[in-house]
Structure 1
Amino acid sequence: MLHPRLAAAFEQRSALKIISGLNNFDRDRVRAVVTAADQGGATFVDMAADPELVRLAKELTTLPVCVSAVEPLQLLQAVAAGADLVEIGNYDSFYAQGRVFSAEEVLALTRQTRELLPQIMLSVTVPHTLPLDQQVALAEALVAAGADVIQTEGGTSSQPHHGGTLGLIEKAAPTLAAAYEISRAVSVPVLCASGLSTVTIPLAIAAGAAGVGVGSAVNQLNSEVAMVASVRALAEAVNAAIALHR
Structure 2
Amino acid sequence: MEKNLNITVLLVDDNEDIIDFITDDLSDQYNVRSAGNGLKALEILKSEPIQMVISDIMMPGMDGLELCKIIKSSVELSHIPVILLTAKNTLQSKIEGLETGADAYVEKPFSPEFLQVQISSLLKNRDKVKAYFANSPLLHIKTMAYSRADEQFLEKLQQIINNSLNDPDLDVEHLADQMNMSRPTFYRKIKAISDLSPNELINLTRLKKAAELLNEGTLKIYEIAEMVGYSSQTQFGRNFSRQFGMSPTDYLNNQQAEKKNRPI
Normalising by structure 1, we get a TM-score of 0.31
Normalising by structure 2, we get a TM-score of 0.29
Q: As a proportion of its length, which structure holds more strand?
A: 1
Higher relative contact order (CA 8 A, sep 6+): 1
Query: Which structure is larger by alpha-carbon Rg, 1 or 2?
Result: 2
Q: As a proportion of its length, which structure holds more helix?
A: 2
